[in-house]
Chain A
Amino acid sequence: MKENRTSLEIIAPTVEEAIQRGLQDLGVPSSSVQIDILDEGSRGLFGIGARQARIRLTIKEALPPVPPPAPLSEQVVEEKLAVENISTHTQPDNQLLFKAEEVVRRLLEEMHIKASVSASTKNSAEQGIPTIYIDIRGKDLTVLIGPQAETLNALQYITSLIIGKQSNQAVPIMIDVEGYRSRRENQLRHLARRMAEQAIKSGRRQILEPMPANERRIIHLELKEYPGVTTESIGVEPRRKVTIIPK
């Protein structure tokens, strides 16, 4: 099931149709996928023995669209931040950003991980304190994500507790490593639509792999307005999973 997230098999009357449908499904341009024709299909004779075309689209492992910023030496970064911090002293937001960066940097240092850390506020439609978005970039950071983002979530949880304690208020914090979360969100949306399609076609409920709550939420939201299916989570944490049920 895992490789399905980056590749997709489509069956359609013709190869062209299959490719078009696949690209639409994945929501990516044809330049970013590899197309394998598994079966060109044939019209058969008077419709007898006609086979549909079968193709596979694989999303090419693209480099992150935004190249990581040139690695500044730790000192330069510190200095830059110190200056920013003084000049924007009156804005509590920047104080928080600075604190958040400091906390994450310290945690990574204690974990013996070299990476660059930058914090920004993410505009959210909701009122109240905006989410602090902390971006971690560097080499070989898969250990920082962990199985099912376990490590990343632990880091995020501990960071938000420390910031919350220091600033005496609950501050929503989101930590991302090399764009992992946004990539994962896209994958999950595509997965959701594909499985919904399958549920409708087969008339049978589709059960997804176990996922943490934030990922299940993405699936539920994506299919909330999707015609023909409803979604529901079943099972007990940490093996709770989404099922997609045809109406």
Chain B
Amino acid sequence: MKTLIEYIAKSLVDNPEAVVIHEERHGNAVNLVLKVAKDDMGRVIGKNGRVANAMRILLRVAASRAGQRVTLDVEEPR
């Protein structure tokens, strides 16, 4: 699941080396936190969050195959 988001994010941004994903697990629930360079935020979120939502939908398929539930947050870099 992490690698799915990693692949998509790195393919969409201008600074793939700045893509970082943290994975937090609580039993069956997985929370992925995606961080990208500031200038790339728009590319992984999209208008009205369209890109982020599409990633969540694909993520859901991957997660359900593993019997897990997964959420995805996009975080602003410091």
Contact = CB atoms under 8 A, between A and B. Distances in A.
Contacts of B12: 161-162, 165
Nearest to A155: B58
Interface string B52-76: 0111011011101110000000000
Interface stretch (A14-22, A79-87, A146-154, A223-231): A146-154
B50 interface: yes
Given A112-B66, A144-B61, A107 B51 contact: no
B61 A157 contact: no
Chain B facing A: main interface SS:
helix
A146 B57 contact: yes
Contact of B4 (A110, A151, A165): A110
Nearest to A103: B11
Nearest to B2: A110
A186 interface: no
Interface residues of A, number: 21
A112 B60 CA distance: 11
A151 B59 CA distance: 10
Contact of A165 (B11, B55, B58, B64): B11
Given A112-B66, A161-B12, A154 B7 contact: no
B8 interface: yes
Contact of A110 (B7, B50, B64): B7
A153 B50 CA distance: 11
Interface in A106-144: 106-107, 110-113, 143-144
B65 A111 contact: yes
Contacts of B51: 157-158, 161
A32 interface: no
A106 B65 contact: no
A166 interface: yes
Among A106, A111, A113, A151, max chain B CB count under 10 A is at A111
A154 B61 CA distance: 11
B7 A111 contact: no
A162 B8 contact: yes
Interface of B: 3-4, 7-8, 11-12, 50-51, 53-55, 57-58, 60-62, 64-66
23 contacts: A106-B7, A107-B8, A107-B58, A110-B4, A110-B7, A111-B65, A112-B65, A113-B61, A143-B61, A143-B64, A146-B61, A151-B58, A153-B54, A154-B57, A154-B58, A155-B54, A155-B58, A158-B8, A158-B55, A162-B8, A162-B11, A162-B12, A165-B11
